[in-house]
Amino acid sequence: MTGNGKSLLLAEDDELLASLLKFRLEKAGYQVNWACDGKQVKEMLQQGVPDIIVSDIMMPYFSGIELVDYLRNELNSKVPIIIISSAGNEANVLNAFELGANDFISKPVSPSELLVRVGRELIKV
């Protein structure tokens, strides 16, 4: 099992995509918490920072950039963050990197590819 029970926060407002990714991540052994908007993300983070975070660049009430900023600067957390980007948001991805994101994957997201990237980030830690 690649996940080994590691906890993962999935911040994604597109239900369809989120369902598929959650399904695959759980199959791979991760413990997935799904937040579909910024409020839920904050609530979940208050309960504890997960082992890795996968977040969409754009969500209601919160953007991926704000999340990275919040984690790195306010929570001083080194948790690995992977950003899901979409067409037209390339500039924001660069911003996210500057603030401390670790990797990105663009839509349409291939679940297999995401699994590889998640695994890679966790090995580094």
Partner 1 sequence: MERSLNSFSFEELSATEASRLQHSFQSFKNQLEGKFWGEKDEKSTEIGLADQNIRPVHPGKNQGELKLISSVCHGMKNPLEQIITSSELMAEGRLNKQQKLHLQTIQSASEGLVNTVNELLEYSKLAAGIEHFEEIPFHLKKLVRDVEYLCNTLILDKQIEFKVHTAPGIPDHLIGDPSKLSQILLNLLGNAIRFVEKGSVRLEVRMEEAKSRHVLLGFKVMDTGNGIPRRDLTSVFNSYQQSDHQTFEKYGGTGLGLSIIKKIIGRMSGGIQIQSEPGKGTALSFQIPFLMGEKLTATNQKTARARVDALKGMNVLVFEDNPLNQKLFLQRLKTWGCKVYMTENVYYGLQLLQDKPIDLVLMNPDINGNNGFALINKIRENPRKSVSCTPIIAISADYRNSEEASWRDKGCNDYIMTPYNPEELLYKIIQNTTDMQRNNPPTIAKMTSKLEKHKPEEVDLVPVLEDCMGQVSMLEDLIILYKQNVLEFIGATRIHLEQEDFEGLAFASHKVKCGLKMLNTQSLTALVEQIHTISRTNQDLKHLKFLHQCFLEEYPVVEAAIDCELLKLKKK
The least CB distance from residue 12 to partner 1, in Å, is: 10
Is 27 among the residues that bind partner 1 (CB under 8 A)? Answer: yes
List beta partners, residue 54.
10, 82
Name 45's Cβ contacts closer than 8 Å, sequence gap at least 6.
Answer: 9, 70, 71, 75
Are the CB atoms for 41 and 67 separated by under 8 Å? yes
Contact between residue 31 and residue 8 where contact means Cβ atoms under 8 Å apart: yes
CB nearer partner 1, residue 12 or residue 51: 12
- d(CA 49, CA 52) in angstroms, rounded, equals 8
Binding segment (CB under 8 A) for partner 1, from list 15-23, 42-50, 64-72, 94-102:
15-23
Category of 92 on φ-ψ map: left (φ > 0), alpha (ψ -120 to 50) or beta: alpha
Q: Considering the complex, state which of residue 49 and residue 58 has its C-beta at the smaller distance from partner 1.
A: 58
Does 90 bind partner 1 (CB under 8 A)? Our answer is no
- Cβ closer to partner 1: 71 or 84? 84
CB of 107 to partner 1, least distance (A): 6
> Residue 59 or 71: which CB sits closer to partner 1?
59
Residues that bind partner 1 (CB under 8 A): 14-17, 19-20, 23-24, 27, 86, 107-108, 110-112
